[in-house]
Amino acid sequence: VLMFPEGTRSRSGDLAELKPGLGFVAVKSGASIVPISVVGTNHLLDCLVRRRKLVVRIGAPIRMGGNRIAENPKEEYRILAGMVRNAIRMLRDEPEV
């Protein structure tokens, strides 16, 4: 399942806060989250006509333990969303090869 955890596309290309629903779905389903960074979508038309590059980077899966009982589940969902955001930010900051 593909999710857009920001809730909307960023027109500026900046990474916005991720919605905690991402963490909710991952914890409840037991699914891993694979962070993906797509840079250049704010110039998508230029990418389609090959004037600019669309850079896609895929990170290592992130998984929360499935048999955990959290004291504050909502906070856990926010923490997981923050972990994913940091992983995406690191992918975006990687130099081009």
Give residue 58's pLDDT: 93
CA-wise closest residue to 85 among 8, 33, 32: 33
Identify the residue with better confidence: 17 or 85. Answer: 85
Identify the residue with better confidence: 95 or 62. Answer: 62
- Say yes or no to pLDDT of 11 above 80: no
pTM of the model: 0.75
**Model confidence pLDDT, tens digit, residues 41-93:** 766 677 777 777 778 899 999 887 655 666 888 888 888 888 899 999 999 88
CB 54 within 8 A of CB 47: yes
Give residue 13's pLDDT: 67
Identify the residue with better confidence: 61 or 40. Answer: 61
Q: Mean of the pLDDT values across residues 24-37?
A: 86
Give residue 96's pLDDT: 73
Task: Kindly list the distances between the CA atom of residue 23 and the CA atoms of 15, 16, 48, in Å, as whole numbers in the listed order.
Answer: 17, 16, 33
